[in-house]
Amino acid sequence: MNSLLKTVTISIIFSILITSVLAQTQGMVTVKGGVYIPLYGVDSTAVKINSFLMDVHPVSNTDFSIFIQKYPEWKRNTVKRLFADKNYLMLWETDNTLGDQLHPNAPITNVSWFAAKKYCECLGKRLPTVDEWEYAAMADEHITDARKKETYNQYILEWYEAPKSFNNTIGSTFKNYWGIYDLHGLVWEWTMDFNSVLISGESRKDVDKDSNLFCGSAAVGASDLMNYAAFMRYAFRGSVKANYAIRNLGFRCVKDIDIVP
């Protein structure tokens, strides 16, 4: 009897252990690594991406509410101005609650880069790099790289023109080749190294390739002048600052895949 009890206890604990490990990667899928040429790359040559896990959905309002309850220093009334400007969580009804205006399942927006970064870190994750994000986002429903497809680019550009898509709920756009939703069609997303975009010397100006403003500016030419949608994303990244909280800018997290030796 005693040994039976022991077995049961151990198996229960094991299942808790497994689910808690799973919980950390729940809602994530693997993006298989590869080589691709980003719009702005290292001397406009191919970039190697290692396989990584990416959140299937952008972080929702509900997800973020849970986070700020656990980490109250990221509430609207307590966050430091260095880390988030006055638009941070601006549309929340109170410092703690979303209110009726915001759908619990809509993507969180009006969050700064610092807040997004911290959120991911607290889940043992991180923000994707620009290269990782662009790599995952060039897939449509069927193929890993749909950048040459006219219909695909058309879809993205039409979304850029569509108003207020941030009110829609997560998972409401298409599921891409990797099983990831909403990379296009809902909100724009923070990346870890958004400030690696060198469109001007100071991130808020739009002078191109001034060799007095950049060291090595000759190397930052674009590789694919047809990819207008990507241009817009890079330009947007180049124009924001880390404490900006913007109405149509959210985020999702990624995680490195632990390589078993």
Partner 1 sequence: MKSTIILLFGVCILFCSCHEEKKQEEQSHTIKMEKENQPISELSIYNLPSVWTTQNNKEIELKELKGNVLVMVMIYTSCKAACPRLVADMRSIASQIPEAKKNNVKLILVSIDPETDTPQRLKKFSIENDMKSDQWVFLRGSKEDTREFAAVLAVNYKKISPMDFSHSNIISVFDQKGELAHQQEGLGVNNKETVSKIIELAH
* Residue 120 sits in the site that holds partner 1 (CB under 8 A): no
* Residue 241 sits in the site that holds partner 1 (CB under 8 A): yes
Question: x-or-dash pattern for partner 1, window 19-48, by CB under 8 A?
Answer: -xx------------------x-xx-----
Q: How far apart are CA 72 and CA 187, in angstroms?
A: 25
Q: How far apart are CA 231 and CA 22, in angstroms?
A: 37
Q: Identify the helix (H) or strand (E) that includes residue 58.
A: none
- Interface residue with partner 1 among 64, 74, 113, 119 (CB under 8 A) is 113
At residue 201, the 3 state secondary structure works out as: coil
By C-beta, is 74 or 181 nearer to partner 1?
A: 74
Q: What is the largest CA-CA distance in the chain?
A: 80
- Interface residue with partner 1 among 32, 48, 80, 247 (CB under 8 A) is 80
Phi, psi of 179 (to 5 degrees): 95, 20
* Residue 70 sits in the site that holds partner 1 (CB under 8 A): yes
* Residue 216 sits in the site that holds partner 1 (CB under 8 A): yes
- Interface residue with partner 1 among 177, 178, 214, 236 (CB under 8 A) is 214
CA 31 from centre of chain: 14
* Residue 124 sits in the site that holds partner 1 (CB under 8 A): yes
Assess contact for 134 and 39: CB atoms under 8 A.
yes
Chain positions 127 to 166 lying near partner 1, rule: CB under 8 A, are none
Q: How far apart are CA 68 and CA 253, in angstroms?
A: 17
- Interface residue with partner 1 among 46, 123, 157, 232 (CB under 8 A) is 123
